Amino acid sequence: MTTPQPAPIENAPIFDADQHMYETPDALTRHLPDKYRRDVQFVQVGRHTRIAILGKITEFIPNPTFDRVAAPGAHEKFYAGTNTEGKTLRELTGEPMESIPAFREPGPRLESLDAQGVAESLVYPTLANLVEHSAAEEPELVVAIIHALNRWMLDTWGYTYENRLFMTPVITLALVEEAQRELDYVLSHGAKAVLIKPAPVKGLHGWRSPALPEFDPFWRDVQAANIPVILHASQPPLDDYVNRWEPPRTNNFMNMSAFRWLVLGHREISDMIAALICHGTLTRFPRLRIASVENGASWIRTLIEDLEGVHAKMPQAFEEDPVAVLRRNCWVSPFWEGSVAEVVDWMGWDKVLFGSDYPHPEGLPEPKDYYKYAEGMDEKRARDFMGDNARRLLGLPVRNPAGDMAPVPS
């Protein structure tokens, strides 16, 4: 039997739904009010620079200055499952490279996109990964840091650049009214998408699911604004749980243990989307568009089976079929080393996004390298996956030359 080959991509205008910026060291502090300055500091630990938030050093991001970084795609063998030599992520990283302008600024990034053959991209911050986790005990501090980061992002990248780069300012739901104000702020400055951590939030009254009715004023504003919400992987909220099983010294991203990798998995995104469904947010606001990015896709099948099982046992707890809600409201960007075909079977072709994770080491050095891992697709499906589905998510015109606005059904 002949193995299907990937469709040619020369004419498929790529929309990369997962690219990143590397922030400058003042990203969290340039616009931080003076009263919080002591709460966010860069400190030296031996030869290494770390961030200390509320006096506690976080090591999740090995070098938060990003002056030297792992080369894009350095960890490809690890994630592709071809690490036959058993090297650690640090060993696979090799010699770090100096950060280049394309990692730090929108103009050079556009030049990089042109060289890569990418038409448009969503661009996420990197330091945002650790803010809410590290400062959770002080919700007002979380709000202040996030706003400072969003102002830095606006200064440095803007929120929309040349209608090709779409940056994702961050919203924290720790304080609902503040979340509404931050949403107004980023919308007024041209944001086309917002980024939310897939995790419970700690407000003034303790930990909560952000999908409970008390958060409805925010979600109502999001639906009215018709702006998509991206749930991007971040420092895992289960970190404290894992620390009860083994020493916390294994929590550095480069040195995570096998147990930590296994337990953390993708529990946070599964639980976040389950909360949005089971706590009713996606039913109360059925036009919300939620995208999971860099959380893989292995969790989807289990979530569907769990939703089906709970719905069968207690249908009175749901106003709608929960699996239908998942497929109506959610988009997924699978890991490049995963199976696109499986995600299509679970979610439908119109809900699957391409993402390279450039320039992170766990991503691909060139977005087009995805085709080494992708299943055979006809040209229409390739166009949907590689670009048009992301354009639909953002409400942008599709670029299928046939002008077909409808996605190919699975």
What pLDDT is stored for residue 77 in this prediction? 61
pTM of the model: 0.89
Q: Are 167 and 159 in contact (CB under 8 A)?
A: yes
Q: Give the tens place of pLDDT for each residue, 342-368.
A: 888 899 888 999 998 888 877 777 777
Residue 187: half-sphere exposure toward Cβ, Cα within 13 Å: 15
What pLDDT is stored for residue 242 in this prediction? 81
What pLDDT is stored for residue 92 in this prediction? 64
Q: Which sign does the torsion angle of CA 381, 382, 385, 389 carry?
A: negative
Q: Are 288 and 221 in contact (CB under 8 A)?
A: no
What pLDDT is stored for residue 7 in this prediction? 45
C-alpha–C-alpha distance, residues 281 and 320, integer Å: 12
C-alpha–C-alpha distance, residues 65 and 47, integer Å: 13
What pLDDT is stored for residue 257 in this prediction? 77
3-state secondary structure the chain: CCCCCCCCCCCCCEEEEEEECCCCCCCCCCCCCHHHHHHEEEEEECCEEEEEECCEEECCCCCCCCCEECCCCCCHHHHHCCCCCCCCHHHHHCCCEECCHHHHCHHHHHHHHHHHCEEEEEEECCCHHHHHHHCCCCHHHHHHHHHHHHHHHHHHCCCEECCCEEECCECCCCCHHHHHHHHHHHHHCCCCCEEECCCCEEECCEEECCCCHHHHHHHHHHHHHCCCEEEECCCCCCHHHHHCCCCHHHHCHHHCCHHHHHHHCCHHHHHHHHHHHHCCHHHHCCCCCEEEECCCCHHHHHHHHHHHHHHHHCHHHCCCCHHHHHHHHEEEECCCCCCHHHHHHHHCHHHECCCCCECCCCCCCCHHHHHHCCCCCCHHHHHHHHHHHHHHHHCCCCCCCCCCCCCCCC
What pLDDT is stored for residue 31 in this prediction? 97
For residues 220, 223, 225, 226, the Cα torsion angle rounded to the nearest 10 degrees is 180
Q: Are 238 and 263 in contact (CB under 8 A)?
A: yes
Q: Give the tens place of pLDDT for each residue, 215-257.
A: 999 999 999 999 999 999 877 667 778 888 887 765 555 667 7
Q: Give the tens place of pLDDT for each residue, 47-67.
A: 888 888 998 887 777 788 888
Per-residue pLDDT, averaged over 364-374, amounts to 67
Q: Give the tens place of pLDDT for each residue, 3-19.
A: 444 444 556 789 999 99
What pLDDT is stored for residue 344 in this prediction? 85
Per-residue pLDDT, averaged over 148-162, amounts to 98
Distance in Å from the first CA to the final CA of the chain? 23
Mean pLDDT score across all residues of the chain:
86
C-alpha–C-alpha distance, residues 290 and 284, integer Å: 14
Q: Are 399 and 391 in contact (CB under 8 A)?
A: yes
**Encoded tokens for 379:** 């040209």
Q: Is the pLDDT of residue 409 over 50?
A: no
C-alpha–C-alpha distance, residues 111 and 126, integer Å: 21
Highest average pLDDT, of 5-9, 81-85, 292-296, comes from 292-296
Q: Kindly report which listed range (88-102, 120-134, 169-183) carries the lowest average pLDDT score.
A: 88-102
What pLDDT is stored for residue 128 in this prediction? 84
